[in-house]
Amino acid sequence: MATPTYHVAIVGAGVCGSAIARCLSAYKLDVVLLEKCTDVGFGVSKANSGIIHAGFHHQSHSLKARLEIQGNLMFEKLHHELGFPFRRVGILVVAFSQEQMKTVAHLYAQGLANGVEGLEICGAQRIHTLEPKLNPDAVGGLHAPSGGIIEPYRFVFALAECARNNGVEIITDFELTRATPVRGGYRLISRDGTEVSARYIVNAAGLYADTVSRILGAERFRIHPRKGEEYLLDRNAACYPGHVLFPVPAKNSKGILVIPTVEGTTMIGPTAHNINDKKDVSTTSDNLETVFTSAVHMVPLVSRRDIITAFAGIRPVLDTSDFFIAISTKARRVVQVAGIQSPGLTASPAIAELVKNLLKQAGLKLTEKRSFRARLEKVVTARSQTPETMARLADNDPRYANIVCRCETVSEAEIVEAIRKGHTTLDGIKFYTRAGMGRCQGGFCTYKILKILARETGKHISAFTKRGAGSYEVSGRLGEGQER
């Protein structure tokens, strides 16, 4: 076989794969990002709490703790360059007894050892001043001002878009099922028989990193799925807090939180249950009860009436509980990025830097590219404009005057922009624009979006799916009838 086509193939376009792709796109390299779903970020990275953790939850010697702190510090620059929603609102760990204050003291000491800046142990008065919506029974806690919140899917989209602008090829609907070693690299074969070849492979396949590792003839390990259910509350909910609110942590998780999302809604959750099925994203009324009871204990204003939707994400957990990021000892051209459970979102930019250095260590030559463009064009959103600016925008482009999603104030111009950027499923458009994320959960805008999709792509309305193959929204006959 001839020399492999790509210098690097990254398997998995979640937040890790996309961050690695963007990082490598700054060098003179041919890079391909392979993703089994129809869009990027549709794996673990789309269903999480969106928190940029501060770095006090994990033991100093762990790889997680190191990359969490490094990643956290990189977000201002990334936000500035890529424009995804991000705010450093700060984190509070809330204690309800003197016994729990001992855990707070431990987290404080751990945070200091990890190098977290600005940590503060609060007494009752201080914590209630910082967060007036807290249960009056709270006796104190930990304040970490460096914690933040982001929109996770917008972050992944921005990373992937920037990587693509800088020459990375992104191939979606490519599920790696076979690989054969060839001289100087690997041939990678997808389920439908498409082939690419590359000199180095990065295994960033999230929940399926164990399968991909096996396919590549690298380490054998098992990824254990641990499910987390979360509940989203309306943007008008009175409970919206000023900080991310944690209880003192439980053994397997950081506990059930009350989270102010960066777009103004409130989220409560997640649960943490070990499960067997990596595809089980069901939610149950029992778990809603558990989440609701914990959340209302933290913030009494949390109301069941404000819940607009539920979802579950699945953490990819290794036996060690730490991240496994290393050059494979069995397959020297493979870099493993496995076991990336929380705080993987926070750590992802630091993971990308580490993987770049590991690839260099494995023999990849890195020469900086002068033409690298770190910045993305700013996305104009109708919901963040003043009426005067909206009027000006609509004068230039009447599609800004057509508000397609009324709950989240999303204009036709934004939907078209999402499609132009390659997001052609309903979920892709939802995650890019927020259309369908509000109180009515797409009840009013889904059909309008399908019609815009049909118009912009020239395809029949029945061709579009919620999230890719097998998730059709409209049956052929219904679509034809509605379209006329």
Ligand X SMILES: Cc1cc2nc3c(=O)[nH]c(=O)nc-3n(C[C@H](O)[C@H](O)[C@H](O)COP(=O)(O)OP(=O)(O)OC[C@H]3O[C@@H](n4cnc5c(N)ncnc54)[C@H](O)[C@@H]3O)c2cc1C
Alpha-carbon span 179 to 177, nearest angstrom: 7
The yes or no reply on residue 344 touching ligand X (CB under 6 A) is yes
Answer yes or no whether residue 465 interacts with ligand X by CB under 6 A: no
Selected from 10, 23, 51, 162, the binder of ligand X by CB under 6 A is 51
Question: Is 345 a residue that touches ligand X (CB under 6 A)?
Answer: yes
As a whole number of angstroms, the distance between CA 244 and CA 130 comes to: 11
Name residues contacting ligand X, limited to 108-167 (CB under 6 A).
none
407 binds ligand X (CB under 6 A): no
- Tell me the C-alpha distance between 413 and 390, whole Å: 12
Nearest to 11 by CA among 475, 446, 323, 334: 334
Q: Which amino acid belongs to residue 316? A: P
The C-alpha atoms of residue 132 and residue 477 are separated, in whole angstroms, by: 54
CB of 47 to ligand X, least distance (A): 6
Q: Can you list the alpha helix ranges (DSSP code H) found in 86-237? A: 98-114, 124-130, 152-165, 209-215
Catalytic site positions: 53
Query: Which residues make Cβ contacts (< 8 Å) with residue 178, sequence separation at least 6?
Result: 188, 189, 215
Identify the helix (H) or strand (E) that includes residue 345: helix 344-361
Asked if 60 and 329 count as a contact pair (C-beta separation under 8 A), the reply is: no
Q: How far is the CB of 132 from ligand X (least distance, A)?
A: 24
CB of 64 to ligand X, least distance (A): 10
Residue with smaller CB distance to ligand X, 91 or 119: 91
> Is the peptide bond between 270 and the residue preceding it cis, with omega within 30 degrees of 0?
yes
Instruction: State the nearest-atom distance from the C-beta of 52 to ligand X, in Å.
Output: 7
Check binding of 42 to ligand X (CB under 6 A).
yes
Binding piece for ligand X, criterion CB under 6 A, among 9-17, 294-302, 429-437, 448-456: 9-17
Q: Which two tokens stand for residue 364?
A: 């990849």
Of 36, 57, 66, 154, the one binding ligand X by CB under 6 A: 36
By the rule CB under 6 A, 44 interacts with ligand X:
yes
Q: How far is the CB of 1 from ligand X (least distance, A)?
A: 21
Task: Enumerate residues 266-325 that contact ligand X by CB under 6 A.
Answer: 270, 313-315
Residue from 7, 9, 22, 48 touching ligand X (CB under 6 A): that is: 48
Amino acid at 429: I
| Amino acid type, 470 | G
Residue 11 near ligand X by CB under 6 A? yes
The verdict on 35 binding ligand X (CB under 6 A) reads: yes
x/- string (CB under 6 A) for ligand X, residues 190-219? Answer: --------------xxxxx---x-------
Answer yes or no: are the C-beta atoms of 439 and 465 closer than 8 Å: no
Of positions 10, 24, 33, 34, contacts ligand X by CB under 6 A? 34
The neighbour count for residue 126, using CB atoms within 10 Å, is 14
Per CB under 6 A, residues contacting ligand X are 11-17, 34-37, 42-45, 48-51, 53, 174-176, 204-208, 212, 228, 270, 313-315, 340-346
